[in-house]
A and B are shown apart, each in its own frame.
Chain A
Amino acid sequence: EDQVTQSPEALRLQEGESSSLNCSYTVSGLRGLFWYRQDPGKGPEFLFTLYSAGEEKEKERLKATLTKKESFLHITAPKPEDSATYLCAVRNTNAGKSTFGDGTTLTVKP
């Protein structure tokens, strides 16, 4: 069974203090690893898809990387508006569903 574990559960940063979020996964055959941002009471907002080890994607202050067992979401010089829960999910080659982790809640203080 596919599994996704995210750490830490919560992260508090000062504005401008860079850090990384971790997503460890096990999947029988990776069709894609996804990162989403979720604001309180809202649906997840798609950020990135990664397909194979070594791949990197960037968007503004966010960069996602992928290895065979983990993905990292690096946040460079975060701003208060980056505060949200960041979700990681995997989809395997045999299933249409995505398996999600429980997320990392990021708080960025001004």
Chain B
Amino acid sequence: ETGVTQSPTHLIKTRGQQVTLRCSSQSGHNTVSWYQQALGQGPQFIFQYYREEENGRGNFPPRFSGLQFPNYSSELNVNALELDDSALYLCASRNGAANEQFFGPGTRLTVL
């Protein structure tokens, strides 16, 4: 069974640029959530996708957007990058009916 994978591992961007992060969910999981984790803090919920539809969103501006594909993989897009967007971005997947979610290794984004 393949776990949650994310790409790229690390990314450096400059302020104002756009970035796309990718996530492949664990086999059999149809729900994907994205989290932002700043250094020394817990993960903050960005949004969740279930069967290609966004069905929950945290307190993040519209420049954070996402997609889920028919194979349940997902993308997180961030436009007009700001310095405060520097963080570890985590993807987690679960079966829609289950409580437990499993995290990928994360993408470390640095905005200069």
Contact = CB atoms under 8 A, between A and B. Distances in A.
B66 interface: no
Given A96-B33, A96-B55, A102-B42, A32 B99 contact: yes
Interface size grouping (class) on chain B: 20 to 34
Interface SS of B by simple majority: strand
Interface residues of A, number: 24
A41 interface: yes
Contact of B33 (A31, A41, A97): A97
Contact of B50 (A43, A44, A96, A97): A96
A43 B6 CA distance: 10
Contact of B42 (A43, A91, A100): A100
For B43, B90, B101, the residue with the greatest tally of chain A CB atoms inside 10 Å of its CB is B43
Interface of B: 4, 6, 31, 33, 35, 40-45, 48, 50, 55-56, 58, 88, 90, 92, 99-106, 108
Interface of A: 4, 31-32, 34, 36, 41-46, 49, 87, 89, 91, 95-103
